Amino acid sequence: MDSHAPALGVGMVGYAFMGAAHSQAWRTAPHFFDLPLRPRMLALCGRDSVRVNEAAGRLGWETTETDWTRLVARDDIDLVDICTPGNTHVDIAVSALEAGKHVLCEKPLANTVAEAEAMAAAAERAAQHGVRSMVGFTYRRTPAIGLARRLVEEGRIGEVRHVRAQYLQDWLTDPASPMTWRLEKDKAGSGALGDIGAHIVDLTQYITGDRIVTVNGLLETFVGQRPVAGAGSGSLLGGDAVNGTGAELGEVTVDDTAVFLARFGSGAVGVFEATRFATGRKNAIRVEINGSKGSLAFDFEDMNVLQFFDAEEPSETAGFRRILVTEPQHPYVGSWWPPGHGLGYEHGFTHQVVDLVRAIGQGVQPLPSFADGLQVQRVLAAVESSSETGSWQTTAADDEQLLGTH
């Protein structure tokens, strides 16, 4: 990129899994893509000064902070990247936007619809002053997903009728796996539903260009108590239970799995499943779209491939076609390697940075917007409500005053 491009001072809150992925993206994007602004990784924020300093050195950040309010107040910070648990998103994002900082926020946007509404409203106000915001649904930036969207837009599969989506993981199948913040509702908002189900809600809406309007769902928690990580075996803290071995147990307050039926605005029907108990599945994101003229199928565990079926081909030669999405004309691919040299998980985060920085430089709204994140939050809330009531629930997706476009 142009070394004389204006700098974009970036500050990031959080430095664990998502923090590492975002850091690599900020480091890498300007070396492979032409950007109108030059990202500068100025400050990393975390509560533990020792750990945040170690992470900053390892991940490439220039300075550190231990209080996010000080990070937001810094004059040299132009953009705040939020990689923290969901219960902190609303305070950090709204404060940053009101301070005139651009914001990138990890998904799901918030823990509740009310929090997401506050964030979307703050983003709308900030946009009137040229301040931009985006929610981090990075899987939509996988080249094969971008190609799927393009084929749907071009009418290659005709009228969409069926949508199937699964996000399958197995990292909680062992009941002895310890408690984490992701298993506590006050921090995470929900379990598999929000953590991974949010991704397939966004992906299917993005690919189809349509929105989920009603749902009928079921949430289930298979393991209600888990060992507290690092806890001693002798004492009880906060009244938690103790198992037969004397290990302290914490209460799991979120779902382990979420399944739901959905209807889209166009009339298409959908089946969704998100679980952390799919034994043997590590990160299987599976999407299939069936239309009147063809079908598309994708599995993230084979992420450089898109399956395409053209129903208008002669029956004797028709069948799913395997498209290796590594050609320079495919979304994002032209800035990387020669054809056939696949991309990986981390590239979606780099593409996210590219799209965000370009949008800021061009003075346009990056997508997905906070309004789009709010719409996904409404879907998640409707699934929770449906599981509680046993009835179909609306997502209120026709409420357009805050909703952005895809």
Backbone angles phi, psi at 376, to 5 degrees: -60, -40
Q: 127 in a domain, yes or no?
A: yes
Tell me what the mean pLDDT of segment 83-104 comes to.
98
Closest CA to 98 of 51, 74, 60, 131: 131
The DSSP output letter for 139 is G
Give the Cα separation of 217 and 274 in Å (integer).
Answer: 11
Name beta bridge partners: 285: 167
CATH number at residue 176: 3.30.360.10
Q: 84 in a domain, yes or no?
A: yes
CATH number at residue 58: 3.40.50.720
Computed over every residue of the chain, the mean pLDDT equals: 93
Instruction: Show the tokens assigned to 386.
Output: 């449906």
pLDDT tens across 103-162, in order? 999 999 999 999 999 999 999 999 999 999 999 999 999 999 999 999 999 999 999 999
Shared domain for 128 and 258, answered yes or no, is: no
Closest CA to 332 of 198, 139, 202, 157: 139
Q: Note the pLDDT of residue 400.
A: 45
Give whole-number Cα distances, 257 to 59, 87, 110, 271, in Å: 33, 21, 19, 14
Which residue, of 120, 139, 158, is where some domain finishes? 139
Q: 132 in a domain, yes or no?
A: yes
Grouping H, G, I as helix, E, B as strand and the rest as coil, residue 116 is: helix
Give the Cα separation of 13 and 304 in Å (integer).
Answer: 31
Among 53-67, 73-87, 218-232, name the one with the lowest average pLDDT: 218-232
pLDDT tens across 5-23, in order? 999 999 999 999 999 999 9
pLDDT at 187 > cutoff 90: yes
**Residue 121 identity:** A
Q: Note the pLDDT of residue 245.
A: 54
Per the structure, how many domains does the chain have?
2
Q: Note the pLDDT of residue 247.
A: 76
Per-residue DSSP letters for 239-291?
A: T--B-TTS-BEEE--S-SEEEEEEEETTS-EEEEEEES--TT-SSEEEEEEEE
Give the Cα separation of 236 and 231 in Å (integer).
Answer: 9
Q: Note the pLDDT of residue 396.
A: 79
Grouping H, G, I as helix, E, B as strand and the rest as coil, residue 347 is: helix
Shared domain for 261 and 118, answered yes or no, is: no
- Identify the band that residue 285 occupies on the pLDDT scale cut at 50, 70 and 90: very high
pLDDT at 234 > cutoff 50: no
pLDDT tens across 316-345, in order? 888 999 999 999 999 999 999 999 999 999
Q: Note the pLDDT of residue 231.
A: 60
Shared domain for 252 and 269, answered yes or no, is: yes
Provide the domain limits for residue 103: 7-139
Q: Note the pLDDT of residue 124.
A: 98
Which residue, of 104, 139, 174, is where some domain finishes? 139
